[in-house]
Every structure is written in structure tokens, then in C-alpha cells.
Amino acid sequence: MVCKPSVSPKIADMRVLVVEDDRKTAGFIQKALKAEGFAVDVMPSGADGLRALETTPFDAAVLDIMLPGRDGLSIVRQLRQAGSTLPILLLSARGDVNERVEGLDAGADDYMSKPFALAELIARVRALGRRTGEAKSNTLRVADLSLDIISRQALRGSRSIALSDREFRLLEYLMRAPGRICSRMMIIEKVWNYDFDPGSNVVDVYIRKLREKVDADADTKLLHTVRGVGYTLRAP
């Protein structure tokens, strides 16, 4: 079988700008992203960050909200007003629901509160790169698994799968971007609509249930665990 080349931009080609004033924090973010194959530039202030974004074509940006001079939110607003579609991840020291909503309303694509796990940061920056071109069709397909999002019917080969509401939403989220690594927190936010970590293993339990239904008697497994990060659904 011939593998089709991926249409999404390769991670190695992705150039990411990190705007963070704390030198140590900026340092380890840069190191962690570089280790994953991203090209990373760091700017220590909002004004420098904005200038860099206006002059250099980046593929994604990681912005701290509290920056000297110019805060992250106002940078996002200015970029969006200028028509930029650059994927932006906001980092914040405040962990409150309001600020998250404010950040996403300002036009940011994602939001993460400090202190964060490095694996979580990497998963989210990767997801930013994949954001372009999500499936618009009413039927999602990954290998022989298909999900009709109108009739809510799931089929593995010719076998019909009965799903509860939560299981359906979880499967839909995973199938929207096959191959994307989804952290537990990303799943909690998107499937459960919680803006805070319920601090537990709800996701693991639901993934286990879903796996029993989707992969149980199939030869090829589609739902994979990414150790220390979360889960992904992909064709073999």
C-alpha cells in the first residue's frame, strides 16, 4: 500500500515566534519546541514581538498575556484587525474562566494557563499548525471508520456502533483532525466544554469505553495513547 503524503504543513517547516518576558520560561519553551523540530524565535517584549510578526512570516505564535510595554491581548486584537489569520496560542498567569473567554474573543486560537506541562504546550502548538483546512463534510472518515455527524451514526467497516452523547462528541472531536495529538485538557475543553481541569481521569474512562466500541474486534487499531500527553486517532 502506498502512503499518501500528508497535506498539512510539516512540523519541521513550521516557524514559531515565542513572545515571553521571563528569560528562563522563554528558554525552556524554545528548547522544548526546538527538540520537536520547530524553528523558534524568541522576543522579550510585546513591542518587539509585534515588530517581528509584522516583518517575518511565522506559521504560529505563542504569546504571553502579561508582557512589558504591550500586552498579549492587544497584540492579538491588532493582528486580527489587520486581517492576519496567524494561529496564536496565549499563555497566561491567571487561570480564570473570564480571561480565557476574553482571550478567545480577542481572536486567539487557543489559551493555556501557567504552569503548564511541556507536553501540553507541544501538543497545542502542533494542533495550531494543523488548524488549516478542517473537514467540512457531514461524514467523517478515518480508514474504515465513518461517522455521520447529522444522523450521529458510526460505522466500523459494516458494523454499526451505538454511541452515547459524550462518546459521540469525543469521537467527532478526534476524527475532525486525524493524527492530531489531543491532550486530556484539550479534550476536556472541547468535548466537555469545561474551562477548568476537573482534575481527574474522566477522559481516560471515556476513551477506554470508546476504544472498546471502536477498536475491540478490529485487526487495525485506530485509537492510540500518546504516553504522557493524551490520545490520537489515526489511520494505520
Partner 1 sequence: MMRLRHNLTLRYSLVMAACLAVLSAVAYHEFVREPRLFQAAKVADQTEYEWFEAAEVAVFASMPVIFCFGWWFIQRALRPIDDLVSSVEHFHAGNLQHRSARSFNLDEVDRLATAFNAMACRIEQSFQQIQAFTLDASHELKTPLTIMRAQIETLLESDPLSALQRESLHSTLEEIERLARIVDGLTLLMKADAGLVPLRREPIAFDELVSESAEDAAVLALPLEVAVEIPRCDPALILGDRHRLRQLLLNLIDNATKYNRPAGSVTISLTAIDRTAELRITNTGPGVAPELAERVFTRFVRGDHSRSDGVEGSGLGLAICKWIVEAHDGTILMTPAPDRTTVTVRLPLSVPEPARNGDGQKAKLP
Q: Could you list the residues that contact partner 1 (CB under 8 A)?
A: 22, 24-25, 28, 32, 66, 93-98, 113-119, 166, 192, 194-196, 198-202, 205-206
Dihedral (Cα; 28, 30, 35, 39), 10-degree rounding: 180
In the complex with partner 1, the residue whose CB is nearer, 93 or 235, is 93
Residue 116 C-beta: closest distance to partner 1, Å: 7
In the complex with partner 1, the residue whose CB is nearer, 138 or 201, is 201
In the complex with partner 1, the residue whose CB is nearer, 120 or 144, is 120
Of 108, 124, 113, 109, the C-alpha closest to 181 is 124
In the complex with partner 1, the residue whose CB is nearer, 132 or 200, is 200
Rounded distance between C-alpha atoms, residue 172 and residue 152, angstroms: 9
Residue 124 C-beta: closest distance to partner 1, Å: 15
Residue 78 C-beta: closest distance to partner 1, Å: 21
Centroid of chain to Cα 178: 12
Strand 88-92 to 110-113 pairing: parallel
Residue 167 C-beta: closest distance to partner 1, Å: 12
Strand 39-43 to 60-64 pairing: unpaired
